[in-house]
Chain A
Amino acid sequence: MQDISLEVMPGDAVAIVGASGSGKSTLLGLLAGLDTPSSGAVRLDGTDLFGLDEDGRAALRARLLGFVFQSFQLLPALNALENVMLPLELAREPGAADRAAKMLARVGLAERLRHYPKTLSGGEQQRVALARAFVTQPKLLLADEPTGNLDAATGAGVIDLMFEMNAEARTTLVLVTHDDAIAARCARKIRLVAGRIDGEG
């Protein structure tokens, strides 16, 4: 990555688009503090991410970020409810079970609390992932190709739900996708080519 300069304001919805290998995922990893840059800085809510150590960044993520991944990344060992409870439990927040159950009801899975990821469809799994992302009321939601593993109809449903919830919670959204239709729903669109920003629109 080179010459990346980007500012996202609270409430913004930003789509990062580009071809495979253009650096979309790398940029997302840097924004979340999952990866470290050779030079440069990322400020999250005023905090310099790379001024913190690994555990410090983890704590910051727990406080500020929500994630949705292309491959869902639910823990196979935990059922839907437990998966959604996990970030609350990691942050030692009270009332995890109630809050998680409510959030699952919000994504339409009230009847599936005790189901394990294996027994859920792809769309259902991504809904659980959405519930998990929003349950901590994050300031920033990072989504990495959230529909990449879903068929078109299911994907559209998940995207609708994501934008609805995003609007309700007034969460800032950074979305990586190569689907122009999805990108079009975001207020800003940043195109990456070979690790550089190739225009915004």
Chain B
Amino acid sequence: MRRLALRMLLRDWRAGELRVLALALVLAVGGVASVSFFADRVRQALTREAHQVLGADVLMTADHAWDPAFRDEIASRGLSRAESVNFVSMARSGQETLLAAVKAVTPGYPLRGKLRIAPGLNTPDADTDAIPPQGVVWLDERMMAELKVRPGDAIELGRARFRVGAVLTLEPDRGVSFMNFAPRLMMRLEDLPATGLVQPGSRISYQLLVAGEREGIRQLEQWARARLSRGERIDSLDNARPEVRAGLDRAQNFLGLTAMLAVVLSAVAIALGTRRYTQRHLDGYAVMRCLGAAQSQLFALFAWEFLVLALAASAAGCALGFVVQTLVAWWLAPLIPGTLPPPGPVPVLQGAATGLVLLLGFALPPLLQLKDVPALRVIRRDVGPPRQGALAVYVAGLAAVFGLLLWQAGELKLAGYVFGGFAAAFGIFAAIGYGALQAIGRLGRTGSVSWRYGLANLLRRPRANAVQITAIAVGLTAILLLTMIRGDLLDAWRGRLPPDAPDRFLVNIQPEQREALSEFLSANGVKRPQTFPMVRARLIAINGKPVGAEDYSEERAKRQIEREFNLTFLSALPTDNKITEGAWFGPEDLARGAISVEHWIAERFGLRIGDKLEFVSAGRSFSAPVTSVRKLEWDSMRPNFFFIATPALLEGFPASYIASFHAPPGDALLTSRLSQAFPNLTVIDVGVILKQLQFVMDQLIGAVQLVFLFALGAGVLVLYAALLATQDERTHEAAVMRALGASRAQVLAAQRAEFAVLGAVAGLLGSFGATAIGWTLATRVFQLDFIWNGWIWLAGPALGLACIVLNAWAGARAALSRPPMAALREVA
């Protein structure tokens, strides 16, 4: 029986009977496997010697310089220590400027793991125990490329000038994170003061790295934890990089769900392919029944055939997935420092499981009907297997898909949403498609014979055609969404910025620099720079009750309450702020001291009008009541503040200033001159930031697109399967028409009419689906003005027509090129 099954499999394969099934499986398995291969590598990279991720056994981070008591304690316990200071600043070389993630380190860094450097771009790298020598910086590959410098060139950072030493290829503690959007500049800590970049108001993180024997580390951690104050944090091996892990989990969920689109579409293709397979094999199985095969024998026969098919297709799918994940990793390489370890065997199991579940869920139930085919069929062709409702047949399949979704999403709610979304989309498409067919079939009964006959055909199989339309529409939705809508969303995002919106921000302006800066700006043609004072302060109590991270459950609230807020003081309400509660500062408030709070922050921390807030800045505290809540336009590109205080309240606190302006057009070197004249300023060039952000986004989108390719392929396959499903019937009909004397042209015209309507309806639905999803993303998720794209309404039907006509053409030609009798006999 096994040999017979294998022979049937080979023969069915050669006859092309299994092509759709196998391809659908390969795509589904490939999609799932590529994502899990990649996720597996990243996960391994994260867990690979966890201490490398910290660069130490214990990492202590603070937003201010560490109290020397900590250093003394580390020394007294005989543990080794290194330090690093991290911040973001402008680096310059010639005319190029770039926002760099600066890390200034002491010898010994990193205590765990090793840096890797290379003497030049694209040259082999090697481990090193050293750190950059005095006066030298190491840059990562991206920074080298974007600043257009080579080892030996000079670059400027703040007030100091450095020589570029080596290419920094790996920092163990940079870890695996997708959001390192600023490239790395590493320097020696002793060189830092010369840059003049450490000023009051600068956002800097100070890190102490500690390593040593386990007990000493444990005791130190205990000792230090008891003494941690605000803005200080300890990371050890147990809690290393929770934010990276959380981010990766989300990315993996997203990619996994993308892969699920391929799985769902493949399921449709498998269901359609199996239906055709079943119909074409009814006779064969009836003959075998007639020749005395028991039901169990027939079951064994196709069970073996399909098991082998599933295994072979899963193997091919895993291989494909492996290739694609290599591409994904290669694509994302600029964002992932270091090399990823090779993937383990688990994803292969996941892929194979997906293949088996799909085949069991969607192919087996209809196949099971085959064994019930009555032997009588051999002499009476009208007898088929007992019919079952489609829903009953596919209950197992739907449950299987939900199981797979749940597995990918990792949580019931998300899986439920996605499943519901798919179900709703399929339901809506099917309903609209069915309705449209009915309407067109009834209303369009005029015109030539061919046209009328073609339309009548639509109505003859309305349900089968609705399935076909739905499948094609889903495929086209994915295609249109990825090509046209994606571009529209990016355009909408770019277009949201008014042309004269500020595109340069100056941070870190010291009070004594204000006048010189304003002169410099007006001398360079800058109009109306806006300047705001900025005081960094921490919120320590609300209505006299101390608050801390433990008082809030939301992750963002916890982080914000631990850090310093930037407060400004103003007597007039900024133009794009709107008061939603209370009133802006009146004379009484100005005299007595008051605070205005941004709407989201008020909500996050539960602040109400009249609440008394207490802040501490540079060791001194101040307090005032909330008198108003404001709403901001965050995308106005103007400096925005969560808290605005009355001027008198913040008098005497150390302030720096922040300025924003729109650079005069055509002055490409303004940023460069500005940062030369005021080296301590961080000049944030929105254009440069956007470029850097764009780079990251392009990489991520590229990777996501690779995964979407599976969905796209599956969509096209559904299309092919859907047309194949009705091809036998069409071939037969064409033969009947030919036998009745229809000319080749008339038969073709009738089919063309039918296909034209099918393709156009499916295409319009695809356009509708893509637009609906695009609109939802734009307005609900990204808060953009949705750009209506007229072309999509042409592109959808055009693609629908193209797909369906191309596919049908192949089928119709085959039907017409043979004499009618041959075609009639074959499918009769």
The interface of chain A, by Cβ under 8 A from chain B, is 25, 28-29, 32, 34-35, 54-55, 58-63, 65, 67, 69-70, 73-78, 82, 86-87, 89-91, 132, 144, 149
Whether A34 contacts B12 in the complex (CB less than 8 A), given A75-B284, A78-B7, A90-B291, comes out as: no
Residues of chain A within 8 A of B11, CB atoms compared: 77-78
In the complex, residue of chain B having the shortest beta-carbon distance to the beta carbon of A79: B11
Instruction: Determine how close the nearest CB of chain A comes to the CB of B385; give it in whole angstroms.
Output: 13
**16 contacting pairs across A/B (C-beta < 8 A):** A29-B376, A29-B380, A55-B295, A61-B290, A62-B291, A67-B378, A73-B283, A75-B284, A77-B284, A86-B288, A87-B292, A89-B1, A89-B4, A90-B291, A132-B291, A149-B825
A69 near B8 with CB under 8 A, answer no
Contact of A58 among B4, B289, B378, B379 (CB under 8 A): B289
Residues of chain A within 8 A of B284, CB atoms compared: 75-77
A67 near B290 with CB under 8 A, answer yes
A96 to B283 CA separation, bound complex (whole angstroms): 23
A60 to B289 CA separation, bound complex (whole angstroms): 11
Instruction: Determine how close the nearest CB of chain B comes to the CB of A129; give it in whole angstroms.
Output: 10
B8 near A77 with CB under 8 A, answer yes
B570 at interface, CB cutoff 8 A: no
B294 at interface, CB cutoff 8 A: yes
Could you say which of A25, A60, A63, A77 has the most chain B C-beta atoms within 10 Å of its C-beta? A77
B15 near A77 with CB under 8 A, answer yes
B287 near A75 with CB under 8 A, answer yes
A25 near B7 with CB under 8 A, answer no
Contact of B378 among A69, A89, A149 (CB under 8 A): A69
B379 near A69 with CB under 8 A, answer yes
Contact of B291 among A29, A55, A86, A144 (CB under 8 A): A86
Residues of chain B within 8 A of A91, CB atoms compared: 292
B483 at interface, CB cutoff 8 A: no
Could you say which of B8, B12, B289 has the most chain A C-beta atoms within 10 Å of its C-beta? B289
B293 at interface, CB cutoff 8 A: yes
B7 near A82 with CB under 8 A, answer yes
B295 near A67 with CB under 8 A, answer no
B577 at interface, CB cutoff 8 A: no
In the complex, residue of chain B having the shortest beta-carbon distance to the beta carbon of A72: B287
B409 at interface, CB cutoff 8 A: no
Given A61-B291, A87-B292, list of 16 further CB < 8 A pairs? A25-B379, A28-B379, A29-B376, A29-B380, A34-B290, A34-B374, A54-B295, A58-B294, A60-B292, A62-B293, A70-B379, A73-B378, A77-B11, A87-B291, A91-B292, A144-B379
Contact digits for B638-665, partner A, Cβ 8 Å, 1 yes 0 no: 0000000000000000000000000000
B292 near A61 with CB under 8 A, answer yes
In the complex, residue of chain A having the shortest beta-carbon distance to the beta carbon of B293: A90
Whether A58 contacts B375 in the complex (CB less than 8 A), given A73-B287, A75-B284, A90-B297, comes out as: yes
Could you say which of B12, B291, B295, B378 has the most chain A C-beta atoms within 10 Å of its C-beta? B291
A34 to B291 CA separation, bound complex (whole angstroms): 11
A168 to B378 CA separation, bound complex (whole angstroms): 27
Interface positions, chain B 6-24, Cβ under 8 Å from A, are 7-8, 11-12, 15
A82 to B284 CA separation, bound complex (whole angstroms): 13
Interface positions, chain B 177-219, Cβ under 8 Å from A, are none
Residues of chain A within 8 A of B12, CB atoms compared: 77
A62 to B293 CA separation, bound complex (whole angstroms): 7
A144 to B283 CA separation, bound complex (whole angstroms): 16
